[in-house]
């Protein structure tokens, strides 16, 4: 399986640091690693423009919101929102919220 990633230098922060420290793509998912060593696996089907994007386009992300959010300016994704298309604070809130049976989950590692 082809994986592409672009590492980010981890910040020197306590374990409650929710800034994004790394991103890895495979064919159908993206793994968002946080500075506090948590990781979230997201299905790219939730983000159709990213699913259709080439690996090179997927690697064109930029950090926004003080390192908590991701945007893909080349694809026009997340550039209008201050928090970005994918935001670490939202991922943590979603993972902590009880879900209804059958509702899609955010994968947490």
Instruction: Please report whether residue 36 resides in a domain.
Output: yes
pLDDT in tens, 6-31: 666 555 444 589 999 999 998 899 99
From CA 105, how far away is CA 41, in angstroms rounded? 10
pLDDT in tens, 55-81: 899 999 999 999 999 999 999 999 888
From CA 88, how far away is CA 69, in angstroms rounded? 6
pLDDT in tens, 88-105: 999 998 888 776 555 555
Instruction: Please report whether residue 26 resides in a domain.
Output: yes
**pLDDT value at position 107?**
53
Burial state string for 13-35 with b = 16 or more CB within 10 A and e = fewer than 16: eeeebbbbbbbbbeeebbbbbbb
pTM exceeds 0.75 for this model: no
Instruction: Tell me what the pLDDT averaged over the chain comes to.
Output: 83
Instruction: Please report whether residue 11 resides in a domain.
Output: yes
Give how many domains the chain has, as a whole number: 1
pLDDT in tens, 35-59: 999 999 999 999 999 999 998 999 9
Instruction: Please report whether residue 37 resides in a domain.
Output: yes
Q: What's the domain range around 43?
A: 4-59+88-108
């Amino acid at each position: 399986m082809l994986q592409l990633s672009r590492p980010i230098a981890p910040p020197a922060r306590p374990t409650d640091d929710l800034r994004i420290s790394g991103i890895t793509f495979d064919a159908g998912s993206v793994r968002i690693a946080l500075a506090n060593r948590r990781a979230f696996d997201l299905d790219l089907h939730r983000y159709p423009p990213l699913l259709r994007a080439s690996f090179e386009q997927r690697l064109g992300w930029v950090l926004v919101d003080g390192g908590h959010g991701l945007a893909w300016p080349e694809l026009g994704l997340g550039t209008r929102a201050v928090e970005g298309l994918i935001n670490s604070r939202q991922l943590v809130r979603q993972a902590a919220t009880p879900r209804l049976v059958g509702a899609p989950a955010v994968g947490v590692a």
